[in-house]
Amino acid sequence: MTSKTVQTLDRVVIRFAGDSGDGMQLTGDRFTSETAALGNDLSTLPNFPAEIRAPQGTLPGVSSFQLHFADHDVLTPGDAPDVLVAMNPAALKANLADLPRGATIVANTDEFTTRNLAKVGYETSPLEDGSLESWHVHAVALTSITVEALAPFEGLTRKEKERAKNMFALGLLSWMYTRPTTGTEDFLAKKFGGRPEILEANLAALRAGWNYGETTEDFASSFVVQAAPMAPGRYRNVTGNTALALGLAAAAHRAGRPLVLGSYPITPASDVLHALSGMKRHGVTTIQAEDEIAGVGIALGASYGGAIGVTSTSGPGIALKSETIGLAVSLELPLVVVDIQRGGPSTGLPTKTEQADLLQVMYGRNGESPVPVLAAQTPADCFDAALDAVRIATTYRTPVVLLSDGYLANGSEPWAVPEVDELPDLAVELASAPNAVDDAGEPVFRPYLRDPETLARPWAVPGTPGLEHRIGGIEKADVTGDISYDPDNHDTMVRLRQAKVDGIAVPDLEVDDPSGDAKVLVLGWGSTYGPVAAATRVLRNAGHAVARAHLRHLNPFPANLDDVLRRYERVLVPEMNTGQLALLLRGTYLVDVRSHTAVRGLPFTTVELADVVSTILEEVS
């Protein structure tokens, strides 16, 4: 056996890329799980086409999974990979531009056939024509070595053996980065428990990959990335959609009310439906509706009955739900609307990320129809954001929009699992008795008599004796809730609904300005949290003073936002849209914020944002 060196690295970015059918998402998930178990901090970015199986070997069919792991705090999935695993020529071609020179490429030579090369426009094989000489290339016959390693499995077809090549690749990378494979072995045992031969074959492929790294001279060294210092606690790795579903279930538990989700399948929100449909044991009811409109109607009907009604969707679904959200504004019932944003307009980019629904959820309804809006910042933060959304909905009896996006939905990071008794108390009080007296002094129920502090109306659910009342989308008289077309009453009600939303208690915006003398503030919202934090870190390490703040609440804005905006000479607002928050800030505060925007379906890179901020720093220096 060749003696191998072991090098220590502080961080690594790996991208697994292959055909949609090559199992790259699974490979990435498993590598992530192994990495999490080692105690590295990490962040992931899956990137896949909307087609389930685009034509094999073509550029549109490339699916990838990027993982950034380190011995320190990780904020983004990484701008550029240090290692690219390319399962075919298409995967190489689609990803090479992102790969800095000097990075490592592990390529599956078996797929670099004349035919496959031609499919993506390579005239000669880049593995052989010298065009990759600036990179470290490991050309490995992944498929044929896997098939050979599985020769003893006579009951399997060649196709079935070939399919295990992703496990071979995982084994090889696990050796390279000294990842334990026991978790993956357990995972495979669960997945293929009923098919022993397939299970054994996958395990054999995984071990063959590991042994290949260990024994062949091609791989001279392996790497160690030490655990990151993390706060003590119990951790798990979560995607944004998983964290969001857990947050909703936890919120309902803390509210003491059942959770009812009405939802229609849509990318990238369906995983919220999937996750919640598996939580029946926790009293969670999921109803897969006939369409988006029914999804929100079901949620609203359940809320009317006293449940925590939730609907989950993406941008096109919001468009369809708008009228019902408006009804919820008028009925003043709790409702949580989850929008996992994706590229638009129309069908747009179903599997790619964007932040372009902000104005839609703020204003995309008829009439004056204010709705509180909040946005999650990281995959794990989707949990806290969901709890906050339920708090606002139940406290203020209002529909709430919770914004996430494709990047948060599918990306993952370690999450310090909270103790249940540390979660906020979301107990709600349902109306149980008349709340007023009529002219004759008899007790009566006034469905639109408001709490003086929150301006919320009573949540009086059917089944409560003595509180029978009628509500509807027609304008209601203040206090009594009877139909009213009175001009002054309408003016009053419009302003009351607005005042209620404006008065929602949201925490002040915290500004991260360690030196205290920054002249430039970078103000983000939603999933730009990681890239903004990473970019400011880069600049601070280079000796610059930069302040940073991130908005959780988009409606209402934090009370101190006006002050914060005026404290800095320049405010930069980076967004994955064409300037929607910037428009709101300018219109609300008359502050000339700088807008930096990109709508490429991908999160910002650290370098891109650091460059933009640098330019502004120069202006004020």
Partner 1 sequence: MTLTDLGMPVTGLQHVPHLPDDAPGQSKRDFTSDQEVRWCPGCGDYVILAAVQSFLPELGLRRENIVFVSGIGCSSRFPYYLDTYGMHSIHGRAPAIATGLATSRPDLSVWVVTGDGDALSIGGNHLIHALRRNVNLTILLFNNQIYGLTKGQYSPTSRTGSVTKSSPLGSVDAPFNPVSLALGAEATFVARAMESDRAELKEVLRAAAEHRGAALVEIYQNCPIFNDGAFEVLKDRTQQAARIVRLRSGEPVTVGPEDDRRVLVRVAGGHGEFVPEAEVGAREVVVHDAAAPDPSAAFALSRLDSPEMTHVPMGVFRQVSRPTYDDLVRAQVEGAVDAAGGPATDADLGELLRGRDTWTVG
Show contacts with partner 1 in window 440-469 (CB under 8 A): 462-469
Nearer to partner 1, 52 or 231 (CB): 231
The interface with partner 1 within residues 409-438 (CB under 8 A) comprises 417-421
Strand partners, 373: 401, 555
Rounded CA gap, 510 and 533, in Å?
13
Q: Are strands 62-70 and 41-47 parallel, antiparallel or unpaired?
A: antiparallel
- Whether 569 contacts 519, CB under 8 Å: yes
Q: State yes or no: residue 203 binds partner 1 (CB under 8 A).
A: no
- Nearest residue (CB) to partner 1, 469 versus 537: 469
Residue 63 or 322 with smaller CB distance to partner 1? 322
Burial 135-151 (b: 16+ CB within 10 A, else e): bebbbbbbbebbbebbe
**Are residues 418 and 451 in contact, defined by beta-carbon separation less than 8 angstroms?**
no
Which is closer to partner 1, CB of 232 or CB of 516?
232
* Contact status: 294 vs partner 1 (CB under 8 A): yes
Residue nearer to partner 1 on the CB measure, 301 or 579: 301
What x/- string results for residues 5 through 34 when contact with partner 1 is judged by CB under 8 A?
A: ----------------------------x-
Kindly tell me which of 100 and 193 has the beta carbon lying closer to partner 1.
193
Tell me if 101 contacts partner 1 by CB under 8 A. Answer: no
Tell me which of 69, 219, 304, 407 binds partner 1, using CB under 8 A: 304
Q: For residue 86, which amino acid is it?
A: A
Q: Which is nearer to partner 1, 196 or 233 (CB)?
A: 233
Q: By C-beta, is 127 or 299 nearer to partner 1?
A: 299
Nearest to partner 1 of 148, 323 (CB atom):
323
Query: Which of 287, 371, 375, 546 is close enough to bind partner 1 by CB under 8 A?
Result: 287
Compute the least distance from the CB of residue 486 to partner 1, in Å. Answer: 15
Q: How far is the CB of 65 from partner 1 (least distance, A)?
A: 17
Distance CA 412, CA 46 (A): 9
Closest Cα to residue 504, out of 251, 334, 256, 319? 334
Do residues 209 and 171 lie in contact, with contact meaning Cβ atoms separated by under 8 Å? yes
Q: Can residue 364 be called a binding residue for partner 1 (CB under 8 A)?
A: no
Query: Which of positions 231-270 make contact with partner 1 (CB under 8 A)?
Result: 231-238, 246, 249-250, 253, 258, 260, 262
**Of positions 70, 83, 85, 299, contacts partner 1 by CB under 8 A:** 299
Size of the site for partner 1 (CB under 8 A): 72
Beta bridge partners of 8: 224
Region 322-351 residues binding partner 1, contact defined as CB under 8 A: 323-324, 326-327, 331
The rounded distance, in Å, linking the Cα atoms of 534 and 434 is: 55
Q: Which one of residues 150, 289, 362, 511 is an interface residue with partner 1 (CB under 8 A)?
A: 289
For residue 403, with 0-12 CB atoms within 10 Å meaning exposed, 13-18 middle and 19 or more buried, which class applies?
A: buried
Half-sphere exposure of 413 (CA within 13 A, CB side): 28
- Binding to partner 1 (CB under 8 A) within 32-51 occurs at 33, 36-37, 39
Among 482, 512, 608, 611, binds partner 1 (CB under 8 A): 482
Per CB under 8 A, does 301 bind partner 1? yes
Of 305-324, binders to partner 1 (CB under 8 A) are 305-307, 309, 323-324
Identity of residue 569: E
499 binds partner 1 (CB under 8 A): no
473 scored as a contact of partner 1 (CB under 8 A): yes
The 3-state DSSP class for residue 603 equals coil
CA–CA gap between residue 609 and residue 533 (Å, rounded): 10
Q: How far is the CB of 569 from partner 1 (least distance, A)?
A: 41
Q: What's the residue count for the chain?
A: 621
User: Does residue 504 bind partner 1 (CB under 8 A)?
Assistant: no
Kindly state whether residue 395 participates in binding partner 1, applying the rule CB under 8 A.
no
- Between CA 438 and CA 173 the distance in angstroms is 76
* Touching partner 1, residues 172-191 (CB under 8 A): 183
Are the C-beta atoms of residues 126 and 185 closer than 8 Å to each other?
no
Using alpha carbons, list the distances in angstroms from residue 379 to 44, 77, 429, 530.
10, 12, 31, 10
**390 is an interface residue for partner 1 by CB under 8 A:** no
Closer residue to partner 1 in complex, CB, 105/299: 299
Phi and psi torsions of 7, nearest 5° = -110, 150
Written as six digits, the tokens of 551 are 């908005």
Residue 376 binding partner 1, by CB under 8 A: no
Residues 6+ apart with CB under 8 A from 130: none
**From the CB of 22, what's the least distance to partner 1, in Å?**
24
297 binds partner 1 (CB under 8 A): yes
From CA 108, how far away is CA 169, in angstroms rounded? 9
